[in-house]
Structure 1
Amino acid sequence: MRRIILICLVSLFAFPFHTMAKVVKEEKNVYSFEMMEADLTRLQQTLPIEVHSIGKSEKGRDIWAVKLGKGKKSILLVGAHHGREWLTTHLLVKMLEQYGMAYEKGKQFGGYSTKLLDEISIWFIPMINPDGVSIQQGNLSCFSHYEKIVTWQRNNYSIDWSRWKANAKGIDLNRQYPAGWDEVKTDISKPFYQFYKGKKPFEAVEVQVLAKFTKHIEPLIAVSYHTSGREIFWHYHNKQEHMARDYELAKKTAELTGYKLSKPEKHAVGSGFTDWFITEFERPAMTVELSYLVEETNPPLSVFPEEWKRNRLVGMMLVKEAVSGIK
């Protein structure tokens, strides 16, 4: 009987899912995984960059990392840990393009010498959660009919995908890191569209890929871009001897962006990428939230010009700070 019910459900929802996916592909108000790949292919043909697939997502999509600069040491900028945060991908790809064009021509960018990239490179990972982004945009084309039903259940039986944060298995990637994972308390005990931390740290393949790559390049600074709230989080059990250094870097980022600088919480709960980075490498890291607060959805693409204006110099500023002596 259960099998018959599932077959009926699959038949019932197969057509709506297919139709919605087709509509989303025609939608102009998103920045998708496919659009990112097309942009990276185009930029690879015109700019002095290295483009690498550093692993695969749960559904087999490439996780792309792009290096700009000749420096053996680097900083790392990561976007789209969450499905509904694809605006961060758009920002990082534009940052890559604008910095790359200036670097190729030997020009300054916003008063910063791009020759600094000969000493410290920038690694961009524009979209660490490509499956989650695709789901959030209504593209479930890589799922079987049965998987569509399971995903629909994880979306609390709604076909409004705009609030989706998790990866394809219903795991919230930014609750997957070991720093503070045990202390994270949640009512979500199984795969869901948000907040499910998994059965153990590093369970999600996307997080495994990012952690392995981060350990490989050992960046001097890491930034994880999210949305929303226009706020910067920089503190998680930072050692006392690093407090002034890390605060000053966060303060400079806040001054550039006009974002609120979050006050350290005495009993902060971690499990995010930057929490892990701070404790693992004892180097500065920030979680930067783009856009005004939008609650459980993506910020509109119309906010992008404002967020680009606020963040356009962040990468080069961090490179200059790294050159100045962050070790």
Structure 2
Amino acid sequence: MKKISVILIVLYMVFINQPICSRATIDMFTYEIMKDHLVMLSDKHDLEMKSLGQSELGREIFAIKIGKGKKNVLITGSHHGREWLTTHIIMEMIKEYASAYNKKYSLYGHSLNILDHVSIWFVPMVNPDGVTIQQKGVEHLPLVLQEVYVDMNNGESNFKRWKANGVGVDLNRQYPAGWEEIQGDSTYASYSHYKGEKPFGSSETKSLLTFTEEIKPLASIAYHTSGREIFWYYYNQVENLYRDYQLAEMVSDVTGYKISYPSSDAVGGGYTDWFIQCYQKPAMTIELSYLVEETNPPLSIFDEEWNRNKTIGLILAEYAKKHVDN
């Protein structure tokens, strides 16, 4: 795995400046479009924007903050390449919340004054390499790299099912909570389900670890797709169960998504699992969209998913201030 990763990174960096034949539509948030929009929103609304580090293939991982509160909550998206609908939802949150906050409007019945107390940090695309592979394929890469990626994709030249990062590691199996117990997944670099050689072994998860430790969120949401489910439990301490479940209920009531529990044989490895275990604070994985199989949900459902989720960031900040900030 190490040898493959090094070869991929070196070869990619050689060819990274070659023109890319994009198959993305103008409506799709590619990494490049997302970056441009973040810069524009940051300039327009005077938002703090920062790079958390680089992906395995050298793309910057960006975070942006709304609010002046000294305490924080964190919302992340696109841990998985094919789950870029989550980036769309988060980017819309940033745009709507920033505009309303600067004008001191209320928004969807919520006062934006909450952001004077608790700021919201967003990481819209944790896995920019995986998103790019899933959206554009690998035709723009030299043939030797194309062959490596096709091999990691089990011989398929269509990359619509790609979940992993740029070197075949599943980022939501990279966190230490239950990592040792993950079994039955791929034992080598793959489009999905390879947990890597060790927790936080990938550039992307290391960057998110450092950032989480820096801002110390009171609560966190990791957006994924699909299935319209909410996962909130990972061996939460007994004294926190009511507090954490109450937040899940509020989110369920607003989104219409069902609250789910892990099966008896479920294992961890996810960001939410680690956050709950490490910080003993509420966190949720929210699965957008009706259930799709190994691909991205269609952009045609954006409006519905946005209407279900448009207040979730504000609800998270309000709940954190009232129930966690003590």
**TM-score normalized by structure 2?**
0.91
Structure 2 Cα separation of the partners of residues 187 and 73 of structure 1:
38
Q: Which residue of 2 aligns with 1:42?
A: 40
> Would the aligned equivalents of 1:236 and 1:268 in 2 still touch at CA under 8 Å?
no
Q: Report matched runs for 1:36-185 at 5 Å.
A: 36-140=34-138, 143-185=141-183
> Would the aligned equivalents of 1:48 and 1:68 in 2 still touch at CA under 8 Å?
no
Structure 2 Cα separation of the partners of residues 301 and 150 of structure 1:
29
* 1:148 Cα deviation after fit: 2.2
Aligned partner of residue 283 in structure 1, secondary structure:
coil
Structure 1 Cα separation of the partners of residues 71 and 123 of structure 2:
16
Structure 1 Cα separation of the partners of residues 115 and 296 of structure 2:
32
> Would the aligned equivalents of 1:171 and 1:191 in 2 still touch at CA under 8 Å?
yes
The residue type equivalent to 2:217 in the other structure is P
Of 267, 288, 291, the match for 1:290: 288
Structure 2 Cα separation of the partners of residues 116 and 253 of structure 1:
18
Of 219, 223, 233, the match for 2:231: 233
Aligned partner of residue 22 in structure 1, secondary structure:
coil
Tell me whether 28-37 or 95-104 shows the greater mean CA deviation.
28-37
Aligned partner of residue 121 in structure 1, secondary structure:
strand
Q: Which residue of 2 aligns with 1:13?
A: none
> Would the aligned equivalents of 1:82 and 1:132 in 2 still touch at CA under 8 Å?
yes
| Closer, same or farther: CA 152–308 of 1 in aligned 2, 3 Å | same
The residue type equivalent to 1:255 in the other structure is D
The residue type equivalent to 2:197 in the other structure is K
Structure 2 Cα separation of the partners of residues 316 and 214 of structure 1:
19
| Closer, same or farther: CA 102–58 of 1 in aligned 2, 3 Å | same
Structure 1 Cα separation of the partners of residues 58 and 299 of structure 2:
27
Unpaired stretches in structure 2, ≥5 consecutive residues: 1-17
Q: Which residue of 2 aligns with 1:8?
A: none
Structure 2 Cα separation of the partners of residues 251 and 226 of structure 1:
18
Q: Which residue of 1 aligns with 2:23?
A: 24
Q: Which residue of 1 aligns with 2:216?
A: 218
* 1:44 Cα deviation after fit: 1.5
Of 290, 303, 306, the match for 1:305: 303
Structure 2 Cα separation of the partners of residues 142 and 212 of structure 1:
32
> Would the aligned equivalents of 1:65 and 1:123 in 2 still touch at CA under 8 Å?
yes
Tell me whether 171-180 or 148-157 shows the greater mean CA deviation.
148-157
> Would the aligned equivalents of 1:136 and 1:163 in 2 still touch at CA under 8 Å?
yes
* 1:72 Cα deviation after fit: 1.1
Structure 2 Cα separation of the partners of residues 265 and 244 of structure 1:
20
Q: Which residue of 1 aligns with 2:11?
A: none
**TM-score normalized by structure 1?**
0.91
The residue type equivalent to 1:290 in the other structure is L
Of 183, 190, 193, the match for 1:192: 190
* 1:190 Cα deviation after fit: 0.2
Q: Report matched runs for 1:258-273 at 5 Å.
A: 258-273=256-271
* 1:215 Cα deviation after fit: 0.8
Tell me whether 217-226 or 150-159 shows the greater mean CA deviation.
150-159
| Closer, same or farther: CA 154–247 of 1 in aligned 2, 3 Å | same
The answer to whether structure 1 residue 279 and structure 2 residue 277 are counterparts is yes
Structure 1 Cα separation of the partners of residues 71 and 155 of structure 2:
47
Aligned partner of residue 214 in structure 1, secondary structure:
helix
The residue type equivalent to 2:31 in the other structure is F
Q: Which residue of 2 aligns with 1:4?
A: none
Q: Which residue of 2 aligns with 1:3?
A: none
> Would the aligned equivalents of 1:131 and 1:168 in 2 still touch at CA under 8 Å?
yes
> Would the aligned equivalents of 2:137 and 2:159 in 1 still touch at CA under 8 Å?
no
Structure 1 Cα separation of the partners of residues 172 and 70 of structure 2:
28
* 1:263 Cα deviation after fit: 3.0
Higher Rg of the two aligned structures: 1
> Would the aligned equivalents of 2:21 and 2:140 in 1 still touch at CA under 8 Å?
no
The residue type equivalent to 1:44 in the other structure is S
Q: Report matched runs for 1:310-321 at 5 Å.
A: 310-321=308-319
| Closer, same or farther: CA 187–100 of 1 in aligned 2, 3 Å | closer
Of 235, 239, 242, the match for 2:240: 242
> Would the aligned equivalents of 1:29 and 1:300 in 2 still touch at CA under 8 Å?
no
Instruction: State, as a whole percentage, how many aligned pairs show the same letter.
Output: 48
* 1:147 Cα deviation after fit: 2.2
Unpaired stretches in structure 1, ≥5 consecutive residues: 1-17
> Would the aligned equivalents of 2:243 and 2:323 in 1 still touch at CA under 8 Å?
no
Q: What CA RMSD, in Å, does the superposition of the two structures yield over aligned residues? A: 1.6
Structure 2 Cα separation of the partners of residues 23 and 213 of structure 1:
31
* 1:153 Cα deviation after fit: 0.8
State the aligned residue count.
308
Structure 2 Cα separation of the partners of residues 187 and 321 of structure 1:
36
* 1:140 Cα deviation after fit: 3.5
Aligned partner of residue 88 in structure 2, secondary structure:
helix
